[in-house]
Copies of this chain bind each other. A is one copy, B any other.
Amino acid sequence: MSYIKDYIKENRERFFEELFGLIRIPSISSEASHKSDMIKCAEHWKYLLKQAGADKAEVMHTKGNPIVYGEKIIDPSKPTVIVYGHYDVMPVDPIELWKTEPFEPVIKEGKIWARGADDDKGQSFMHAKAFELMVKTKTLPCNVKFMLEGEEEIGSPSLTEWCAEQKDLLKGDVILVSDTGMIASDIPSITTGLRGLAYWEVEVTGPDHDLHSGIFGGAVANPINVLCKMIADLHDENGKITIPGFYDDVLVVSDEERQLLAGKPFNEEDYKKAIDVKALKGEKGFTTCERTGIRPCLDVCGIWGGYTGEGSKTVLPSKAFAKISTRLVPNQDHKKIAQLFKEYFEKVAPEYVKVEVRPLHGGQGYVCPIDLPAYKAAEKAYVEVFGKRPIPVRSGGSIPIISRFEEVLGIKSILMGFGLESDAIHSPNENYPVENFLKGIETIPLFYKYFAEMK
């Protein structure tokens, strides 16, 4: 679309200047000394939204850092896009490794160098400028709502409650987020899945005190041996988790999506080399990318018991412990799984030990179906800008707030991330390629266009 390219060309220098103004506010959410910067940054975003064309913009109070809300309602009957982003950034330590000042952005070698250049000031600001573009060129086809939080890097402690309180305000059709990455500058991708999590601590008690391993060894069950056996039995010979009902709710991924996922460039030799293992291991019948993307897994994150010091003390210990986590895939409910595991693990405990399972933590997974109209719209937008169909990527990790949006607001998110792995987010010398920044501003209006047409 030539009007998009033209507008970007004419205004790009100003876009940079405005982004730099946002970046210069050191809004580090984890450091109390930056409290006033959080307010300053929120106020600045309010100004940016108004300047870009919002009818209304305000800084809204929470128990933590404020949330910036802005909107432009062109017609209540038209679809509404909610843009989510965050204005807080990570600390800058170790400061001595930075080649430039973290809060004084510069453009060098085709990249913007600064803390927040990508995560998430650069990426969220693309949405402000794409919005401005649509307003100024009179091409905005949807209502728009912005919601920018200042606590993403510290786990979004206020946002869920705020969303629940603002359900009316946050009515909309899709949440649009640019806070993830793409495979490469020339390989566009959309993150379509995030895994959920359930985490337990288990305690196995054998005898009520440590025993002499000579006097009792062989006649009394050793809780470490028992725990090892119980953990070993959690997987079968095909790498499947043996907890009855564990896979019941796992969303089966269509052959089409599996084929698309397979398009993600992946070199197994490089992958193994990077972590120095001779062979990979996982669930039979699935590729490495599928094992981390579309399938759940179970890992022991920690284990301890008995004598762990130097040398060779003999003991038949009273207790053994483990921290066990599962990564869950969309449609698996972490609360249900937490209960399922607890009941199962306690039930299968042999009579010669006592087993206690304590659920510690959990979060839902997330999936964006690739036949969702919003996904189709994003796909079309990418094809137009990059000349290639984007690859739907299932990330093995978790972004808890995305699944919580769905739980609280009932709205799906589209994760149009334009970052690259080389952007060094959370690290010294964070950067964001100018090309990705501008391509993002180019792609976003096309998403609005196709999304409006499909609704």
Given A301-B306, A303-B320, CB of A216 within 8 Å of CB of B396: yes
Q: CB distance B314 to A199 under 8 Å?
A: yes
List, in ascending order, chain B residues with CB within 8 A of A360's CB: 311-312
Complex CA–CA separation, A283 to B219 (angstroms): 8
Q: List 28 A-B contacts (CB under 8 A).
A: A195-B214, A201-B312, A207-B277, A208-B275, A208-B277, A212-B397, A213-B301, A214-B397, A215-B292, A215-B397, A218-B283, A218-B327, A221-B280, A222-B299, A224-B299, A224-B302, A225-B298, A228-B229, A228-B232, A229-B231, A232-B233, A279-B350, A303-B305, A306-B323, A308-B323, A312-B323, A312-B325, A312-B360
Give the interface centre of A206, A218, A298 by most chain B CB atoms within 10 Å.
A218
List, in ascending order, chain B residues with CB within 8 A of A306's CB: 300-303, 323
Residue of B nearest to A199 (CB): B312
Q: CB distance B352 to A279 under 8 Å?
A: yes
The B-contacting residues of A in range 87-129, CB under 8 angstroms, are: none
With both chains docked as a complex, state the minimum distance between the C-beta of A335 and any C-beta of chain B, in angstroms.
15
Complex CA–CA separation, A291 to B209 (angstroms): 20
Count copies of this chain in the complex.
Answer: 2
Q: Is A250 an interface residue (CB 8 A)?
A: no
Residue of B nearest to A316 (CB): B299
With both chains docked as a complex, state the minimum distance between the C-beta of A156 and any C-beta of chain B, in angstroms.
17
With both chains docked as a complex, state the minimum distance between the C-beta of A421 and any C-beta of chain B, in angstroms.
11
Q: CB distance B228 to A300 under 8 Å?
A: yes
Q: Is A336 an interface residue (CB 8 A)?
A: no
Q: CB distance B207 to A276 under 8 Å?
A: yes
List, in ascending order, chain B residues with CB within 8 A of A275's CB: 207-209, 211, 216, 220
Give the interface centre of A228, A280, A311, A314 by most chain B CB atoms within 10 Å.
A228
Q: Is A297 an interface residue (CB 8 A)?
A: yes
Q: Is A157 an interface residue (CB 8 A)?
A: no
List, in ascending order, chain B residues with CB within 8 A of A350's CB: 279, 281
A interface residues with partner B (beta carbon < 8 Å): 195, 197, 199, 201, 206-209, 211-222, 224-225, 227-229, 231-233, 235, 275-283, 288-289, 291-292, 295-309, 311-317, 320-323, 325, 327, 350-353, 360-361, 395-398
Q: CB distance B299 to A361 under 8 Å?
A: no
List, in ascending order, chain B residues with CB within 8 A of A208's CB: 275-277
A303 touches which of B235, B298, B304, B352 (Cβ 8 Å): B304
With both chains docked as a complex, state the minimum distance between the C-beta of A146 and any C-beta of chain B, in angstroms.
29
Q: CB distance A217 to B292 under 8 Å?
A: yes
Residue of B nearest to A229 (CB): B232
List, in ascending order, chain B residues with CB within 8 A of A276's CB: 207-208
Residue of B nearest to A283 (CB): B218
List, in ascending order, chain B residues with CB within 8 A of A297's CB: 217-218
Given A277-B206, A282-B218, A291-B219, CB of A308 within 8 Å of CB of B299: no
Complex CA–CA separation, A396 to B224 (angstroms): 20
List, in ascending order, chain B residues with CB within 8 A of A305's CB: 300, 302-304
Given A213-B301, A308-B323, CB of A295 within 8 Å of CB of B396: no
Given A213-B299, A228-B227, A299-B225, CB of A278 within 8 Å of CB of B352: yes
With both chains docked as a complex, state the minimum distance between the C-beta of A258 and any C-beta of chain B, in angstroms.
15
